[in-house]
Structure 1
C-alpha cells in the first residue's frame, strides 16, 4: 500500500498530535519539489499551550517527520538566531510552507519571515572581511603546498566552506550548510555556482588544484587579494 500524500500525512499528523494548535505548516523538500526517497516531512506547529519551543524527530503514517513546535512568541528567538548566523532555516520554512491549519496566526508570521528573507543578512564589517581573507589565504597556502592526498581533501573542504561563505556574505546573501551551500550559491549566481562545483570536483576526482586556486584568488581579488603580511589579531 503506497504511503499517504505528504500534505494528507501532515494534516493527519497535526490533527492527531496537535489538535488544539492555532496553526501548522508543511515545509521542506516536499514543498519545494526537491524530495528524494529519503526525504522527511518538516512540520512547523504554532501552539500557545506549549511553554517553549522544541524539535522532535519521529515516524508516523509511513513518513519520517521532523516537528518544529513553537508558541506564538518563542519562534521569534529562532528567527533572530537564524538571521544573526545568516542561515535562515526557520524563516525559510515558514515563508515556503504550505498552510495545513490556520486560526488566523499564520499570515502575520509568514509576512515576518518573508520580510526577514528579503532584507538579507547584515553586511560584514571591514574587520570581518580582513579576518576571513586571512583565513582563506592560510587555507589556500596549505592547499597549494600539501603533498598528502588525505590531508588535501580536508583542506579542500575548509576552502569550499570558506569560499562559499565569503562570496555570499560579502554580497549580503544568505548562506547555508550541507546541501544548502550549493543551493545558496545557485540562488545568488548560478554561473559562479557551476564554476565552484567544477573546480572542487576536479580536485576531488583527479587531484587537480589549479581551478580551486584560481577560484579562490578571483573571489579575494576585489577585496585586496590574499592577506598574510601585516595581518594582526588581538594586538
Structure 2
C-alpha cells in the first residue's frame, strides 16, 4: 500500500468507525489530491440520514487531525447556499473536487453534481454597497501602508497593514472576475487563478514589504486592483447604520 492508499484507507476508517449510519463520504483537500504529508489533516465531508444534525467537528484519529463536515440530504441545499454566499465555498469545493470514499445509495453522487453546478455558476455578484465598501476599505489600508513608518520598532504596523491590503485587494480582484476567494493558503491560490498577472504583483509586493520594508510595490498593485473596480474611494463614501 502506497502513501496515498494509506491516507484514503485511514479516511475510510474514520467514517466507518465514527459514522456507521453514513449515507456516504468524501475526502477533500490536499489528501484527496495526493499531496498529503505525514502531518496533514484530513478534510472529510459526511452525509448522514435526515434524522441527524449537520455540524462541523475536529477530532484526532490515530496520528492525524481530522476536520469533519457533517450534513444531511435535506439540509445540504441550504448549507450550500450559505457556503456560496460567503464567496469561499469551502464545502462546495470539498464535494466538487474531492474523492468519494463511500456512496452505496448514490447520495454522494447527487450531492457532488449539485456542488459542481454551484461552483460553475461562480460566487454571487457584489451589491453596489459591497463594491463601495470594498473600495473604501482597500483605499484606507493602501493609504496607511504608504504612510507606514520605516522605523524598525514599528514594523509590526507595516506588516499588519500589508496583510489587510493583500486580503482586501484579493477580495476585490476575485469578485471582479466572478471567481472564488479564499483565506489562509487558499487566498494566494484563488487570487492567482483569478488573475495571474495582478495576483503575482500583489503577492510579490507583499513579499517585498515583509523582506525589505518597502510598501510601494504592494501599494501600486493595490491601486491597480482598485482601478479595475472604479478606482480609490475616499471622500463621498458613506452608509447608514446598521451596516
Equivalent pair of 1:50/1:70 in contact (CA under 8 Å):
no
CA shift at 1:151, angstroms?
Answer: 1.1
Q: Paired residue for 2:109?
A: 107
Kindly indicate whether residue 54 of structure 2 is the aligned counterpart of residue 53 of structure 1.
yes
Partners of 1:178 and 1:93 lie apart in 2 by 16
Q: Paired residue for 1:212?
A: 218
CA shift at 1:141, angstroms?
Answer: 1.3
- Report the TM-score when normalising by structure 1: 0.92
CA shift at 1:201, angstroms?
Answer: 0.2
Kindly indicate whether residue 161 of structure 2 is the aligned counterpart of residue 155 of structure 1.
yes
Partners of 2:172 and 2:50 lie apart in 1 by 42
Partners of 1:30 and 1:62 lie apart in 2 by 14
Partners of 1:64 and 1:88 lie apart in 2 by 21
Q: Paired residue for 1:192?
A: 198
Kindly indicate whether residue 84 of structure 2 is the aligned counterpart of residue 117 of structure 1.
no
Q: Paired residue for 2:176?
A: 170
Secondary structure of residue in 2 paired with 1:67: strand
Cα deviation per residue 1:105-138 (whole Å; 9 max; x = unaligned)? 1111000000000000111123322221111111
Partners of 1:161 and 1:32 lie apart in 2 by 26
Task: Give structure 1 stretches of 5+ with no counterpart.
Answer: none
Secondary structure of residue in 2 paired with 1:74: helix
CA RMSD of aligned residues (A): 2.0
Secondary structure of residue in 1 paired with 2:57: strand
Equivalent pair of 2:176/2:229 in contact (CA under 8 Å):
no
Tell me whether 47-56 or 95-104 shows the greater mean CA deviation.
47-56
Runs (4+) of structure 1 exceeding 4 A deviation are none
